[in-house]
């Protein structure tokens, strides 16, 4: 995790210590909500005056509101435009009020980030789009997107990675870097949302050279089912389609052998040379070529043969259990798994707050839009 110096300096300029500023940066960027327990976990301090001093400071400055939850617990929400402006992220939706399910998901995300500060997170939509399109050279068409209607008729806007689940690069991995995607479950009753998420990300997972996936949950009950679902739905080979690539190879090779050089562009010739090195010593591929050029082998059969011969790959999948500050929301915790390795995240259903979720300081600003 790299903390931008300018953001930390700006927060220190608002009266926070460097440690407090770093914690506020994490909260504002990944969650918008936090508990005193999470602050203590970040600082390594014991419960007492230190966390009381910090929470009183952030409230007194008008940068957060606090709500009373179960067991006299308190949940803090960073909503101040001034604070987010200090980070250069004034329009983040984390400033807004959210549903109980959304809040629980955000707290689980913060738990995960606090446990893995060594990862390099792609924090904003623009960072993610830039990484995949500029650094990996992928098209925006493979990115998970949602189209929104604008105020002007027939004007729409595409937004990417709207789920905002942790997306990060594993440190010290050899290039190309391992890109880890995630899904956060803060108490789901079923895996329907997870299957929808995998469908949304399927093209991107198929296009990234070295993807990995982590299922984060506050309960372990869906871990095995999530693993089986992922194994069934995760792409097994890289985009582009091996069948299409094989067919291109045969067509370009035929043009070259028949000296139709004017039909081939420089890029196509480079593709042909790469493909020759890859396929020319493969007896199975060679056995397909002659029947193809003689018209004895249908195009769909050629494509299917290339797909079957394409190297398979398993996308690494793991689960991780996080606390998610469940004690603030659940009246009965006896059914929660005590398993801590590997960790995970599940989403809770229904109204988690009920009458215990009452504001006791500041209503918070209800601004819009985010990155």
For residues 138-144, average pLDDT: 90
User: Looking at residue 340, what is its pLDDT?
Assistant: 42
- Which pLDDT value is given to residue 241? 80
Q: What band does 151 get if pLDDT is binned at 50, 70 and 90?
A: low
pLDDT class of 188 with cuts at 50, 70, 90 = confident
pLDDT of residue 153: 67
The CA angle 288-293-297, to the nearest 5 degrees, is: 55
Residue 96 has pLDDT above 90, yes or no: no
Q: Is the pLDDT of residue 368 over 90?
A: no
In this structure, the number of other CB atoms found within 10 A of the CB of residue 265 comes to 10
Tell me what pLDDT residue 49 has. 67
Task: Pick the closest to residue 371 from 116, 83, 122 (CA basis).
Answer: 122
- Checking if the pLDDT of 350 tops 50, the result is no
Other CB atoms within a 10 A radius of the CB of residue 272 amount to 18
Average pLDDT over residues 209-236: 92
On whether the CB atoms of residues 92 and 84 are closer than 8 A, the answer is yes
Strand ranges (DSSP E) for 31-132? 33-35, 64-68, 74-78, 120-121
Q: Which of 311, 302, 308, 284 is nearest to 246 (CA)?
A: 302
Lowest-confidence region among 119-133, 245-259, 325-339, 342-356: 342-356
Q: Is cis: bond before 240, omega within 30 of 0?
A: yes
pLDDT at 333: 63
Select from 228, 219, 221, 293 the least CA-distant residue to 256.
Answer: 293
For the four alpha carbons of 73, 79, 80 and 85, in that order, the dihedral sign comes to positive
Say which residue, 297 or 154, is predicted with more confidence: 297
The pair of structure tokens assigned to 177 is 């870097």
Instruction: Tell me if 74 sits within 8 A of 67, measured CB to CB.
Output: yes
- Distance between start and end Cα atoms, the chain: 20
Candidate from 27-31, 200-204, 296-300, 338-342 with smallest mean pLDDT:
338-342
Q: What is the DSSP string of 260-293?
A: -GGG--HHHHHHHHHHHHHHTT-HHHHHHHHHHH
Q: Is the pLDDT of residue 254 over 50?
A: yes
pLDDT exceeds cutoff 80 at 342: no
For a pLDDT cut of 70, what percent of the chain falls above it?
84
Q: How many CB atoms lie within 10 A of CB 263?
A: 12
Stretch 4-25: mean pLDDT = 96
Please confirm whether the linkage preceding 176 is cis (ω < 30° from 0): yes
pLDDT at 346: 37
The per-residue pLDDT for range 38-76, each reduced to its tens digit, is 999 998 877 766 667 899 999 999 999 999 888 878 999
pLDDT at 138: 86
Better pLDDT: 345 or 141: 141
Domains in the chain: boundaries: 120-239+314-353, 242-309
Rounded to whole angstroms, the Cα distance separating 171 from 191 reads 30
Query: pLDDT by residue (tens digit) across 197-222?
Result: 999 999 899 889 889 999 999 999 99
pLDDT band per the 50, 70, 90 thresholds, residue 242 = confident
Using alpha carbons only, what angle is made at residue 9 by residues 134 and 82, rounded to the nearest 5 degrees? 85
**Which residue in the block uniquely carries the two structure tokens 């996936």?**
213
Residue 355 has pLDDT above 70, yes or no: no
pLDDT at position 361 is 36
Count CB-CB contacts under 10 A for residue 130.
Answer: 12
Q: Taking all residues of the chain, what is their mean pLDDT, rounded to a whole number?
A: 85
Strand ranges, E, within 150-197: 156-160, 168-169, 179-186
Instruction: State how far the Cα of 360 lies from the Cα of 194, in Å rounded to an integer.
Output: 35
Residue that wins the pLDDT comparison between 93 and 79:
79
User: Where on the phi/psi map is residue 241: left (φ > 0), alpha (ψ -120 to 50), or beta?
Assistant: beta
């Amino acid at each position: 995790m790299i903390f931008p110096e300018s953001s930390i300096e700006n927060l220190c300029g608002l009266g926070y210590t460097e440690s407090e500023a770093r914690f506020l940066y994490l909260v504002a960027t990944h969650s918008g909500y936090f508990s005193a327990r999470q602050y203590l976990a970040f600082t390594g301090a014991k419960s007492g005056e230190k966390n009381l001093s910090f929470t009183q400071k952030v409230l007194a400055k008008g940068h957060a509101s606090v709500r009373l939850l179960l067991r006299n617990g308190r949940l803090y929400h960073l909503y101040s435009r001034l604070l987010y402006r200090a980070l250069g992220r004034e329009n983040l939706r984390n400033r807004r009020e959210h549903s109980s399910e959304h809040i629980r998901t955000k707290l689980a995300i913060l738990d995960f980030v606090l446990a893995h500060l060594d990862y390099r997170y792609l924090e904003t939509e623009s960072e993610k789009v830039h990484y995949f399109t500029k650094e990996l050279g992928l098209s925006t068409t493979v990115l998970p997107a949602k189209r929104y209607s604008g105020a002007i008729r027939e004007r729409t806007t595409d937004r990417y990675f709207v789920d905002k689940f942790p997306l990060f690069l594993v440190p010290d991995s050899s290039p190309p870097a391992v890109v880890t995607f995630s899904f956060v479950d803060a108490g789901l009753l079923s895996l329907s949302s997870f299957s929808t998420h995998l469908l949304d990300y399927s093209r991107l997972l198929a296009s990234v050279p070295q993807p990995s996936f982590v299922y984060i949950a506050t309960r372990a009950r869906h871990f095995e089912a999530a693993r089986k679902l992922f194994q069934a739905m995760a792409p097994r080979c890289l985009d582009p389609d091996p069948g299409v690539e094989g067919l291109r190879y045969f067509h370009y090779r035929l043009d070259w052998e028949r000296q139709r050089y004017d039909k081939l562009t420089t890029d196509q010739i480079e593709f042909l040379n790469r493909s020759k090195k890859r396929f020319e010593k493969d007896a199975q591929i060679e056995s397909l070529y002659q029947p193809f050029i003689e018209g004895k082998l249908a195009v769909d059969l050629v494509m299917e043969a290339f797909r079957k011969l394409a190297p398979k790959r398993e996308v690494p999948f793991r689960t991780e259990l996080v606390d998610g500050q469940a004690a603030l929301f659940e009246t009965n915790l006896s059914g929660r798994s005590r398993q801590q390795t590997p960790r995970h995240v599940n989403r809770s259903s229904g109204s988690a707050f009920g009458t215990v979720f009452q504001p006791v300081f500041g209503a918070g600003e209800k601004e819009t839009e985010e990155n």
